[in-house]
Amino acid sequence: MAEYMKKCMYIIGAGFAGRMLAKEICQKKLFGEVAAFLDDDPELIGKTLDGIPVLGPIAHFTSFLRHTERDEAIIAIPSAPKERISEIYNLLTKSGFSRIRILPSVSQIVDGDAHLIQTREIDPLDILGRTPVTIPLKESLQYLRGKRVLITGAGGSIGSEIARQLLSGGASRLYIFGHGENSIYQIDKELRLLQKEGVGEKATIVPVIGELKDRQYMFHIMDKLKCDAVFHCAAYKHVPLMEENPVAVIENNVFGTKNILDASLAAGVKKFVLISTDKAVKPVCTYGVSKLLCEKLLLQASKKAASDSSFMFVRFGNVIGSRGSILPLFNAQIKTGGPLTVTDPEVKRFFMTIPEACSLVLQSGGVGKNGTPYLLDMGEPIKILAIAEEVIRMYGFEPYKDVDIKFIGLRKGERMDEPLWTEEENPQKTAYNKILALQNTHDIHTIDEILCELSPVCIYNETDKQAYRNQELLKKILQKYVPTLL
Active site residues: 279
Whether 252 contacts 236, CB under 8 Å: yes
Give CA–CA dist 184/190, Å, rounded: 10
Whether 43 contacts 20, CB under 8 Å: no
Q: Give the 3-state secondary structure of residue 114.
A: coil
> What is the chain's Cα-based Rg?
24
Q: Which residues contact 307 (CB under 8 A, 6 or more apart)?
A: none
Residue 394 C-alpha from the chain's centroid: 22
Give CA–CA dist 320/343, Å, rounded: 17
Give CA–CA dist 231/359, Å, rounded: 12
Task: Count, in order, helices (H) and strands (E) of the chain.
Answer: 18, 22
Give CA–CA dist 269/227, Å, rounded: 6
Give CA–CA dist 268/145, Å, rounded: 18
DSSP summary character for residue 250 = I
> Which residues of 210-305 form beta strands (DSSP E)?
229-232, 271-277
DSSP summary character for residue 133 = P
Give CA–CA dist 287/236, Å, rounded: 8
Q: Give the 3-state secondary structure of residue 206.
A: strand
Residue 63 C-alpha from the chain's centroid: 36
Length of the chain: 486
Residue 418 C-alpha from the chain's centroid: 18
Which DSSP string do the residues of 379-446 spell out, in sequence order?
-S-EEHHHHHHHHHHHTT--BTTTB-EEE--PPTT--S---SS-GGG--EE-SSTTEEEPP-----TT
Whether 136 contacts 111, CB under 8 Å: yes
* AA letter at 17: A
Give CA–CA dist 280/418, Å, rounded: 9
10 Å CB burial of residue 127 (0-12, 13-18, 19+) is buried
Give CA–CA dist 117/366, Å, rounded: 28
